[in-house]
Amino acid sequence: MNQADNVFTFKHFAQLGQSVLIEPVLLEEGNLLFYPQSRQIIMKEECVSDIKFEAKKGLILSGKIEPATENVKIKIINNKTKEEVISILTNSEGKYKVGPLYDD
């Protein structure tokens, strides 16, 4: 893999007609997330190029329960779908931190 000016390249050999899932992942901890999260492509020609992803800083949510209370369940709910995205428990100091989260 090569990196120059935030452009990454890679090689993967696949059969014509084969479906390939491309999902960028950071190898070190950070708060960057990729949009879209993945891309499914079907090999229609020998060389596929110019597959683009946008990297954005993810949202970090943190806080503290007063008085400090351990094991309080904090639920992160998607405003649009009303579905639970993730839930975490506070630590012994009543603190919690979750993320990075996608902006949707």
Task: Return the pLDDT at 24.
Answer: 87
Half-sphere exposure of 34 (CA within 13 A, CB side): 13
Same domain, 46 and 83: no
Q: Using one digit for the tens of pLDDT, what is the confidence trace for 63-97?
A: 999 999 999 999 999 888 999 999 999 999 999 99
- Condensed to tens digits (0 to 9), the pLDDT of residues 44-58 reads 877 777 788 888 888
pLDDT at 40: 92
Q: Are 68 and 44 contained in the same domain?
A: no
Provide the pLDDT for residue 5: 59
Q: Clarify whether residues 20 and 45 are in a common domain.
A: yes
Q: 37 near 61, Cβ under 8 Å?
A: no
Number of structural domains found in the chain: 2
Q: Do both 44 and 9 map to the same domain?
A: yes
* Same domain flag for 33 and 72: no
Same domain, 64 and 51: no
One domain for residues 44 and 63: no
Per the structure, the complete domain to which residue 30 belongs is given by 2-57
Q: What is the pLDDT of residue 26?
A: 80
User: Is the pTM for the entire model greater than 0.85?
Assistant: no
